[in-house]
Each structure stands twice: as C-alpha cells, then as structure tokens.
C-alpha cells in the first residue's frame, strides 16, 4: 500500500513543478533608438511572474524602478546564467541601481509575494528599466589585501562584511543586508548588498576578500548622487 502512494505523490509533485514553471513569462526589453531607458506597464496575478530580459555589458549601470499596484508586488535582478539574485526587492525596496559585473542578459523578475499569490491577488505595475554608461574595456584589477589582514572563513564573511560596511557608512550592522558569498575568477570572494542610509536612500556595496580569505575592502556600487 505504501509504495503506490509514494509514487502517486511523486508524480503529483512533478506535475505541480511543471505548472509553477509555466507561470513565468519572458519578455525582451528593447530601447528605442537614442534612448537608454524604457517604461513598461504590465500586470500579474497569483503565481504569475515576468522576466524582463535586458542585454548589457560589464561596467554599465542597470537602473530599475517599480511602481506597484499591490503592496506585495516586487522585483528581483538576476545576472546572466544564474538564479542568485543581485538584488531582492522584498528586502531592499522598489528601486535598484548597480554597476554590472558581466556581459549578457540580465533578468528583471516581477512577481507577487507568496502570501498574495496564494490568495490569487492581482497587481498592475509600471516598471522603468535603464542601462547607462560605457562598457568596461577590461575587468578592473582587484587590489591586494592590506598587510596584516586576518583570514575570514566563508561562513563568517557576511557578518564580517556587515561590520565593515556599518563602520564605513556610519550606521549599525542591522541596517546592512548582504547577498550570498560569490567566488570570483581570481579565486577570491565577493559579497554584494545594500545599506539603509535613511534620508539618503539605499546604497549598494561590494565587500571583497582575496583567495586566502583576507578582507580587502568595501567598494561602493552606488554613487553619492544616486
């Protein structure tokens, strides 16, 4: 009796996964000639989400602003070939601006939070996407860690990063949000995130560590004028 039941549940789970994947719609964003941004109006309902594909190059700046019609309506920014978000709207708000690390198609994913999706709520929204600046001719060299820097294990890097960012920006670690640790091609590690500067808005940053895990620096990804 047990085995047929398990098989039935497994088959049902596969069916549900297929349904969930079918809810994601993809649209390519094309800017008008001479324009560097585009404003899009759209709507989603329940489990629906939309991936807006934006082609950009390393060194350029991607800017996204969402005006939601539902308090549970947000967007994430995902880099080329990865499902690890550069920006998570549900924790960082409805505005993003950041210097891009690689060439390729970036996905701006618009969605409803799970609580609203389960109630089959709908959202009408306005999304503005822009790409500005020149592409980097080459990846910038990562500086060496300062002499005497302590080695930080990967598990402690997020907390260490939050402490350094809080000191640099004159705030408390509680106002600093970090993304997962990412390994760079040079063997080092990086952590991006946001710091809430109150009236000055959300600021993007990147903490960098060398291949031995030694802290290098905190690099601002949002200029003071943004």
Taking only the tens place, the pLDDT of each residue in 196-210 is: 988 888 889 999 999
Residues 127 and 191 in one domain: no
Q: What is the pLDDT of residue 194?
A: 93
**DSSP run (H or E) holding 43:** strand 37-45
pTM value surpassing 0.75: no
**Full domain range(s) for residue 72:** 23-132
141 lies in a domain?
Answer: no
Decide which of 91 and 138 is more confident: 91
Mean pLDDT value across the chain: 85
Q: Of 56, 91, 57, 54, whose CA–CA distance to 76 is shortest?
A: 91
CATH assignment at residue 83: 2.60.120.380
Burial class of residue 107 in the structure, from the number of CB atoms within 10 Å of its CB (0-12 exposed, 13-18 middle, 19+ buried): buried
Residues 114 and 214 in one domain: no
Quick count: other Cβ atoms within 10 Å of Cβ 111?
23
Residues 34 and 106 in one domain: yes
What confidence category does residue 33 fall into, taking pLDDT thresholds of 50, 70 and 90? confident
Residues 114 and 165 in one domain: no
């Amino acid at each position: 009796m047990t085995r047929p039941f398990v098989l039935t549940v497994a088959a049902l789970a596969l069916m549900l996964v297929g349904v969930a994947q079918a809810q994601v719609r993809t649209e390519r964003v094309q800017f008008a000639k001479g324009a560097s941004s585009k404003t899009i109006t759209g709507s989603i309902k329940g489990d629906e989400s939309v991936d807006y594909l934006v082609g950009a190059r390393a060194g350029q700046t991607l800017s996204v602003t969402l005006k939601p019609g539902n308090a549970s309506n947000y967007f994430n920014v995902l880099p080329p070939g990865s499902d690890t978000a550069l920006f998570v709207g549900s924790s960082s708000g409805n505005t993003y601006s950041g210097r891009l690390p690689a060439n390729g198609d970036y996905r701006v994913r618009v969605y409803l939070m799970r609580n609203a999706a389960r109630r089959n709520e709908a959202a009408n929204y306005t999304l503005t996407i822009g790409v500005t600046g020149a592409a980097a001719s080459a990846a910038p060299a990562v500086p060496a860690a300062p002499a005497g820097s302590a080695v930080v294990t990967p598990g402690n890097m997020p907390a260490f990063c939050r402490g350094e960012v809080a000191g640099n920006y004159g705030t408390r670690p509680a106002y600093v949000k970090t993304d997962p640790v990412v390994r760079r091609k040079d063997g080092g590690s990086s952590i991006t995130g946001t710091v809430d500067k109150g009236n000055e808005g959300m600021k993007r940053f990147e903490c960098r560590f060398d291949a031995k895990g030694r802290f290098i620096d905190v690099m601002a990804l949002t200029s003071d004028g943004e």
